[in-house]
Structure 1
Amino acid sequence: MSKYSKNGRKLYSKAEQFRQGDSDKIRIAYDDTLPSNFWRRQLVGLADEFPHISLTAIKASSADIPTLVKENHVDLGYGLVFSSGDDPMIKVRALQRIRMMAVCSPEHALAKLTNVTSTDITAHRQIVLSHLFDEIHQDFRPISSSTMSFSNYQEVLEAVVDNLGWGIIPETLVKQELRKEHLVVVKHPNGMYYESFGEMSRPNDHTVETRQALIDGIEEGIYDLF
Structure 2
Amino acid sequence: MNDLQAFLAVARELSFTKAAASLGVTPSALSHTIKSLEERLGVRLLARTTRNVSPTEAGERLMHSIGPLFEQIATEIEMLGELRDKPAGSIRLTCSDDAVEMIIRPKIAEFLTAYPDINLEIGIDYGFTNIVSDRFDAGIRLGESISKDMIAVRLSPDWRLSVVGSPDYFKKHPAPVIPQDLTHHSCINIRHSFAGGRYAWEFEKDNHKLNIRVNGQLTFNSIMHVLNGTLDGIGLGYVPEFLVKPFLRDGSLKEVLVDWSPYFEGFHLYYPNRRQASPAFAAFVETFRYRK
Q: 1:117 Cα deviation (Å)?
A: 2.9
The 1:97–1:144 alpha-carbon spacing in structure 2 relative to 1, beyond 3 Å, is same
Is the counterpart of residue 171 in structure 1 residue 233 in structure 2?
no
Residue by residue over 1:151-179, the C-alpha shift from the partner in whole angstroms, topping out at 9 and shown as x without a partner, is 43322111011121111111111111111
Looking at structure 1, the residues matched to 272 and 288 of structure 2 have their Cα atoms a distance apart, in angstroms, of: 20
The 1:40–1:146 alpha-carbon spacing in structure 2 relative to 1, beyond 3 Å, is closer
**Alignment partner, residue 160 of structure 1:** 230
* Correspondent of 1:126 among 187, 190, 196: 187
**Partner letter of residue 234 of structure 2?**
L
**Alignment partner, residue 75 of structure 1:** 137
Listed as ranges, the gaps of 5+ residues in structure 2 are 1-77, 203-211
Is the counterpart of residue 199 in structure 1 residue 268 in structure 2?
yes
Q: 1:20 Cα deviation (Å)?
A: 6.2
Higher RCO (CA 8 Å, separation ≥ 6 residues) = 1
Listed as ranges, the gaps of 5+ residues in structure 1 are 1-14
**Alignment partner, residue 24 of structure 1:** 89
Alpha-carbon contact 2:94-2:139 (below 8 Å) kept: yes
The 1:117–1:40 alpha-carbon spacing in structure 2 relative to 1, beyond 3 Å, is closer
**Partner letter of residue 166 of structure 2?**
S
The 1:76–1:135 alpha-carbon spacing in structure 2 relative to 1, beyond 3 Å, is farther
Is the counterpart of residue 46 in structure 1 residue 111 in structure 2?
yes
* Correspondent of 1:101 among 153, 158, 162: 162
The 1:51–1:154 alpha-carbon spacing in structure 2 relative to 1, beyond 3 Å, is same
Looking at structure 1, the residues matched to 163 and 195 of structure 2 have their Cα atoms a distance apart, in angstroms, of: 24
**Partner letter of residue 98 of structure 1?**
W
Give the percent of matched residue pairs that are identical in Structure 1 and Structure 2. Answer: 20
The 1:201–1:209 alpha-carbon spacing in structure 2 relative to 1, beyond 3 Å, is farther
Looking at structure 1, the residues matched to 251 and 238 of structure 2 have their Cα atoms a distance apart, in angstroms, of: 17
Q: Which has the larger radius of gyration?
A: 2
Alpha-carbon contact 2:223-2:239 (below 8 Å) kept: yes
Looking at structure 1, the residues matched to 248 and 101 of structure 2 have their Cα atoms a distance apart, in angstroms, of: 19
Residue by residue over 1:78-117, the C-alpha shift from the partner in whole angstroms, topping out at 9 and shown as x without a partner, is 34x16435x345543333112221111223359623x523
The 1:205–1:25 alpha-carbon spacing in structure 2 relative to 1, beyond 3 Å, is farther
More helix by share: 2
Looking at structure 1, the residues matched to 79 and 197 of structure 2 have their Cα atoms a distance apart, in angstroms, of: 37
Looking at structure 1, the residues matched to 253 and 239 of structure 2 have their Cα atoms a distance apart, in angstroms, of: 11
* Correspondent of 2:254 among 180, 184, 189: 184
**Partner letter of residue 243 of structure 2?**
L
Looking at structure 1, the residues matched to 199 and 220 of structure 2 have their Cα atoms a distance apart, in angstroms, of: 17
Once superposed, what is the RMSD of the aligned Cα atoms? 3.8
Deviates more, 1:133-142 or 1:96-105: 133-142
TM-score using structure 1 length: 0.68
**Alignment partner, residue 287 of structure 2:** 217
The 1:70–1:135 alpha-carbon spacing in structure 2 relative to 1, beyond 3 Å, is farther
The 1:128–1:205 alpha-carbon spacing in structure 2 relative to 1, beyond 3 Å, is farther
Q: 1:147 Cα deviation (Å)?
A: 5.1
TM-score using structure 2 length: 0.55
